[in-house]
Amino acid sequence: MSSADLYVEKIAFQRYLSQIDCLQCGYPSCEAFIEAIKAGSTKPSDCAFISRNKAYAFEAIEKITTLWPDVPLLTHPRPGVTGLIELNSPSPDSLVLVSGNNEYTEQVLMTVLGTTICPFFVIFIDTDGNTVDMSMIYQTLTAQRVSESIQSTHVEEKVTVRELMLPGLASSLKGDIERLTGWNVRLGPVCAAELPLFLSEIWIEPEK
């Protein structure tokens, strides 16, 4: 069976490096350095300008793409859970993540979030079991449904800042969600596996 596109090729690794091509890593460019990381011939920490957190984030992506489920190319929706999940004992200033309630989408996202001890609120919106990309096509991920989920989960009572992170594939909903809910919408990456780099300042490695 064919596998679904999880958009790993959309991860913009270069944006997370200094881009000064200093050559200290032994490679002729940042792009070459990234290719060497992917090939396993060097480590992210070999870049003198990468913080410890960001180096771990690069490593976490490699781990994620080997651990997450093999997602088949879907022909039918697969509804998972809906509602609010609290990970790692979130506090009122923890980030609120939003995604769809497709079973595989949830497995992928939880695999990603399992690589950090950072606390999150996660809301799985009822998208009729569609993945985020398909829910945009079938219009089952909407500003109205996001608003309804915010209200039904009472997440606004748990946070001090009304801001949520929306998957990059749903970027067209940003303005409508902000107008309907009064919340600020921060656009996340297209590929869930990019989250460790996108949030590297808070993506803390679990103790081994």
Which pLDDT value is given to residue 72?
85
Contact 173, 143 (CB under 8 A): yes
Instruction: Specify the residue for token string 């290719």.
Output: 35
**pLDDT tens sequence across 137-154:** 999 999 999 999 999 999
Region of 76 (left: φ > 0; alpha: ψ -120 to 50; beta: rest) is: beta
Distance of CA 49 to the CA centre of its chain: 24
Low-confidence ranges of the chain (pLDDT < 50): none
Which pLDDT value is given to residue 1?
53
Q: 58 vs 62, 73, 163, CA distance in Å?
A: 7, 27, 26
| Domains detected in the chain | 8-67 (1.10.15.40), 83-198 (3.40.50.11600)
pTM of the complete model: 0.93
- Where are any strands of DSSP class E within the chain? 83-87, 95-100, 120-125, 163-166, 184-187
**pLDDT tens sequence across 105-131:** 999 999 999 999 999 999 999 999 999
Q: 79 vs 114, 118, 184, 203, CA distance in Å?
A: 21, 27, 27, 29
What crossing angle do the helices spanning 52-67 and 103-113 adopt, rounded to 10°?
150
- Cα 23 to Cα 107: distance, rounded to the nearest angstrom: 39
Which pLDDT value is given to residue 76?
83
